[in-house]
Each structure stands twice: as structure tokens, then as C-alpha cells.
Amino acid sequence: MGAAFFYHLTREPLEVALPMLLGRALGAGWRVAVRGTDEGRLAWLDEKLWLDPEEGFLPHGLAGGAHDAHQPILLTTSPDAPNGATCLMAVDGAEIAAEEVSALDRVCILFDGHDEAALSRARGQWKRLKDAGCAAQYWSQESGRWEKKAETGDG
């Protein structure tokens, strides 16, 4: 049974924090689906993931290609993960179901701490997942480094 990790982005934008988390997920041996809400935004993230060779190569692709099943990281708007993902990273308010948290090794929910709508969505997701019995952790980077600020369930 997995857990949902909420990442409150206050010091780094998504395009900086996401590659770090993706690198850790790959290091744990997980295949990852990055679920967004807008294909254009995922295409933008796809470009950002290719641009920084100094940070290391993150093998990935956009959903809809001929090799989706072979992608270690697949960027998608769909709840399906043809790459066999065991880790799901939700960005831009993509919804997560309690059943997904239970079925996967890890679910990460990244949200912009400077966007009131994103904060509200994340609070709602936290409450829904907690009420469904999911283990959850809340991580903040207010101090300049990631710190666990809250935990619920069996996480």
C-alpha cells in the first residue's frame, strides 16, 4: 500500500522541483507517470526535461507515441499508465483517486504555493485522501530545504 506525498512548492517552480523528484523515483526503481491536466502544459514540461543535461538524463516521453509502454517516465493527461508506472506524480491540479494511492508505490502531488487556487485544490485532495484512509505526508520547502510538516495514516 502506497502513500500520497504532497509537495508545496514555494521556493522552486515545477520545472525545477519535478526533475529532482523524477530522478529520485527512477533511483528507487519506479516507472513514473506524470499526470497533468493540459496537453500543452505537458509539452512544455517535456521540453524543460530535455534542456538541462548537467542535471543528468531523465528518459521520458509524451503519451500518444509508439513507445509509451517503454517509457520510464510518461507525461500524460490520462488516468491510464501504459508504461506500467508504480509512481504517479500529479501536477497542475490533476486529480488522484484513493484507489490509485493504495495500488501504487508512491503518489506525489506537486502544487504551487503562490497560487491560491492550487493551494485550495491540494487541501481538498489531502482531505479526500485522508478521509478515504490513505497514508499521506505534507512536505514544504519554506526553510529552503524539503521538510516533512504533517503525516497521516500508515505512511
- From first to last of its 155 residues, the chain has per-residue pLDDT tens of 689 999 999 999 999 999 999 999 999 999 999 999 999 999 999 988 886 556 667 899 999 989 999 999 999 999 988 999 999 999 999 999 999 999 999 999 999 999 999 999 999 999 999 999 999 999 998 888 899 999 987 54
Domain that holds residue 118: 3-152
Residues 91, 33 contacting (CB under 8 angstroms): no
CATH number at residue 19: 3.40.50.10110
Strands 106-112 and 135-140: unpaired
3-class state of residue 3 by DSSP: strand
Total tally of structural domains belonging to the chain = 1
**Whole-prediction pTM:** 0.93
Residues 104, 2 contacting (CB under 8 angstroms): yes
Residue 67 DSSP code: T
The CA distance from 89 to 54, in Å, is 23
